[in-house]
Amino acid sequence: MITLYGDVTKTRANRCSWMLKEIGIDYVNEPLAFRPGAEKPAAFLALNPNGKCPTLQDGDLVLYESLAINLYLAKRYGGALGPQSPEEEALMMQWSFWVATEVEKPLLLTAAIRHLFEPKQPADEELAIAMKRLSRPFSALEQHLQDRDFILGDRFTAADLNVAAVMHFIPIAEIDVSTFTAMKRWLETCLDRPAAIDVQSVNFRVPTPKSSRDIFAMFV
Ligand SMILES: N[C@@H](CCC(=O)N[C@@H](CS)C(=O)NCC(=O)O)C(=O)O
């Protein structure tokens, strides 16, 4: 039996919940409703000394890092969601590392600034830097999607899921991506999938209410 640790409504465990729902396998969810800075359960720290969610246990395997968990699940159980060749696997890793290193931090920072900070607190400089950092990766994805429906071509895969699961913060960060038409269309297609809609988080679609500051405190 697979166990997914982490609150799928408030943490990056929502990404792995999306993948598990796409695959359609049974799993147990342990929400672990700890708050940032709070003492973590000793049994959880024994599994993952890094102390973060999500963490996945599948038999003797314990894994952390949401996007790595998804690559494992897709390859092991995901059929067409996973790689069908070493080349596809390499591309899935490339896009997953890309979104984690080039997009996630400035995007979450923008979302946090726009939803966490008091309106009077100036953060213009941080916002400008974050937006500048995002412009090149957004352009790269836009260009890549000019002649394909999905990141690897004509089917939805773990690469799309991992990238879209990070990019779903775009509306929450209030970033206007109307000029990135291919990227926007692709993101909407990914987030309209039944498994994405079914994830009990911000449902990837519904911008988190500004009052839900604690949600962002868990993400950033
Ligand atoms: N890069 C990691 C980030 C994991 C992470 O920061 N998780 C947050 C929840 S979204 C967490 O566990 N926060 C609690 C803490 O840092 O103590 C991943 O993608 O899994």
Task: Give 176-195 pLDDT, tens digit per residue.
Answer: 999 999 999 999 999 999 99
CA of 135 to the centre of ligand 1 (A): 25
Alpha helices in 117-151 (DSSP H): 124-144
- Name the average pLDDT for the chain: 90
Quick one: 68 and 103 in the same domain? Answer: no
State mean pLDDT over 190-212.
73
Are 68 and 159 contained in the same domain?
no
Give the separation between CA 88 and CA 51, rounded to whole angstroms.
Answer: 31
Residues 6+ apart with CB under 8 A from 36: 217, 218
**Tens-digit pLDDT profile for residues 65-120:** 999 999 999 999 999 999 999 999 999 999 999 999 999 999 999 988 887 777 66
Burial class (CB in 10 A: 0-12, 13-18, 19+), 19: buried
Q: Residues lining ligand 1, CB < 6 A? A: 11-12, 36, 51-54, 65-67, 218-219
pTM of the model: 0.92
**Residue 69 CA, closest ligand 1 atom number:** 20
Same domain? For 177 and 206 the reply is yes
Evaluate the CA torsion angle 13, 29, 52, 39 in order and state its sign. Answer: positive
Please check whether residues 76 and 89 belong to one and the same domain: no
Residue 39, Cβ density class (10 Å: 0-12 exposed, 13-18 middle, ≥19 buried): exposed
Alpha carbon distance 72, 8 (integer Å): 18
Last residue of a domain, one of 51, 80, 109: 80
Q: Over the stretch 125-147, which tens digit does the pLDDT of each residue have?
A: 989 999 999 999 999 999 999 99
How far is the centre of ligand 1, averaged over its atoms, from the C-alpha of 54 (Å)? 7
**196 pLDDT exceeds 80?**
yes
User: What order of strands is seen across the sheet that includes strand 2-5?
Assistant: 27-30, 2-5, 55-58, 61-64
**63 and 43: one domain?**
yes
Task: Report the number of distinct structural domains present in the chain.
Answer: 2
User: What's the CATH code of the domain at 160?
Assistant: 1.20.1050.10
* Shared-domain flag, residues 73 and 175: no
Q: What is the pLDDT of residue 212?
A: 55
Instruction: Using the 3D structure, point to which of 61, 80, 99 is the last residue of a domain.
Output: 80
Q: Which residue of 53, 62, 97 sits with most ligand 1 atoms within 8 Å of its CB, as the best mutation to test the pocket?
A: 53
Q: Please tell me the distance between residue 219's alpha carbon and the centre of ligand 1 in angstroms.
A: 6
Same domain, 32 and 93: no
Q: Are residues 101 and 177 in the same domain?
A: yes
pLDDT of 60: 96
Residue 220 above 80 pLDDT? Answer: no
Residues 29 and 95 both lie in one domain: no
User: Domain range spanning residue 60?
Assistant: 2-80
Same-domain check for residues 92 and 41: no
If you take atom 2 of ligand 1, which residue's CA is the nearest one? 65
C-alpha 49/C-alpha 134 separation (Å) is: 32
**pLDDT tens by residue, 28-73:** 999 986 776 678 899 999 999 999 999 999 999 999 999 999 999 9
Q: Is there a single domain that holds both residue 135 and residue 201?
A: yes
Q: Which amino acid type is present at position 84? A: Q
